Amino acid sequence: MNRFENTASLALLMGGGSLSGEIGKIIDRLHISPAGNLSRIFSEDIRVAVMQVLRKDYQSLADYIIDMNLYVADAVNRRAQLVCFPAYTGLLPAFFIPQFQSVLPQLRPLASTGLPDIEDLNDILSYFSDVVFDVYFHTMEALASRHGVYIMAGSTVYFEKDELLHRAFLFSDKGDLAGFQDKLSQNALERALEIEPASELKVFDTPLGQLSILTGEDADYFETARVAKNLGAQIVINPNVFKRERTAVGTALGINMRVQEACVYGVQSVLVGDTALGFTSKGAGGAFAPNAFLSRKNGILIETSGAMQPDIACARLNLDILEKKIPYIDDKNPELMKRHVDRLY
């Protein structure tokens, strides 16, 4: 049994009215006009925005919506057509709810596991799930429609009926749900919460190319990107958080390595700051391309700052060159090979 009060009390935060209606009123006051970034789409020039989102406390529903709009508006002003948010973006609305703020101390990590008390976390997620998810979902679909861009809205953890899911969402420039992808792997927290990994990897057919979403650690496994590539993916989006600061070596792993193996583009968005899930996320996001297309052979097209502050970086992706056959590139060292792989000689 959930040890918190009935969720109906949360409706008072919306003034007792319709949640989607209240979100619509707030967005109306922002006077957003479609920028027309998708009026002309060229496969050799797809413009993608990578979001580095700072987790912060909000004072109200309007404060949260205004902040999300600032990210999208900045990306749109840079001519982005696809805007990518990080993992756990869908939990951000919880931070304007006073009841949630009051139970945050219960989510401090335990010394024995490094994780919050799982029973407390499960109860808190259950209690706030409906209203937090609805705010997140309706805000993202409205921003996609008003700005006229595709938004990969990051991921969220929420209850659908009695099942806890970790799911990422993609919205079209009309505000329609273009698709969703459940996380394919489990980390320690997801195992403790008994979030079952998905068994299906999807590819979304959009005017901006064939898109696939690998959330968090899903991009750490070569099989996922290979399956996405075999299904036709051209851009693999990796909404992520990092439990430790990213290094140059770390940047070469994960989605960057998958890009090199599968010959696709990779886009990694990140959340920075205290996640309230027992850890602080640090690190930079970026866009990545096969080394064969780059003068600097590090896979990096662009990166965000990695600092504890909001940031956006935009990249232009040429999907046509993915069709080119890439010659095998290796670093031959015959002397080393003779010493360590003598059976080949």
pLDDT of residue 42: 97
DSSP one-letter string for 219-268: GG-HHHHHHHHHTT-SEEEEEEE-SS---HHHHTSTHHHHHHHHT-EEEE
pLDDT of residue 13: 54
Mean pLDDT across 58-70: 96
Residue 136 DSSP one-character state: H
In DSSP terms, 342 is beta-bridged to none
**Contacts of residue 69, Cβ cutoff 8 Å, sequence gap at least 6:** 27, 30, 32, 143
If you average pLDDT over every residue of the chain, what do you get?
87
Cα separation, 60 vs 239, in Å, equals 25
Is pLDDT above 90 for 279?
Answer: no
Is pLDDT above 50 for 298?
Answer: yes
Mean pLDDT across 196-225: 96
pLDDT of residue 4: 47
pLDDT of residue 251: 57
% of residues, the chain, pLDDT over 90? 64
% of residues, the chain, pLDDT over 70? 86
| Chain centre distance of CA 208 | 18
182 half-sphere exposure, CB direction, 13 A CA radius: 14
pLDDT of residue 296: 87
> What does each C-alpha distance from 241 to 85, 159, 188, 271 come to in angstroms?
11, 21, 14, 5
> CB–CB of 48/289 below 8 Å?
no
Is pLDDT above 60 for 8?
Answer: no
Which domains are delineated in the chain? 37-344 (3.60.110.10)
Chain segment 189-203, per-residue pLDDT in tens = 899 899 999 999 999
Nearest CA to 136 out of 122, 151, 121 is that of 151
The two counts, helices (H) then strands (E), for the chain are: 9, 13
pLDDT of residue 117: 82
Is pLDDT above 50 for 179?
Answer: yes
Q: Please tell me the least confidently modeled range out of 17-26, 231-240, 264-273.
A: 17-26
Angle between helix 222-230 and helix 255-262 axes, rounded to 10 deg: 40
Cα separation, 342 vs 339, in Å, equals 6
Chain segment 72-121, per-residue pLDDT in tens = 999 999 999 999 999 999 999 998 888 887 777 777 777 667 777 888 88
> What does each C-alpha distance from 49 to 52, 55, 81, 131, 176 come to in angstroms?
10, 18, 8, 28, 20
274 or 158, which is more confident: 158
The strand ranges marked E within the chain are 46-54, 82-84, 150-160, 163-171, 177-182, 204-206, 209-213, 235-241, 265-274, 280-281, 286-288, 300-303, 311-317
pTM for the whole structure? 0.88
Confidence band of 6 (pLDDT split at 50, 70, 90): very low
- Enter the tokens of residue 37: 């970034």
Confidence band of 345 (pLDDT split at 50, 70, 90): very low
Angle between helix 19-28 and helix 61-77 axes, rounded to 10 deg: 50
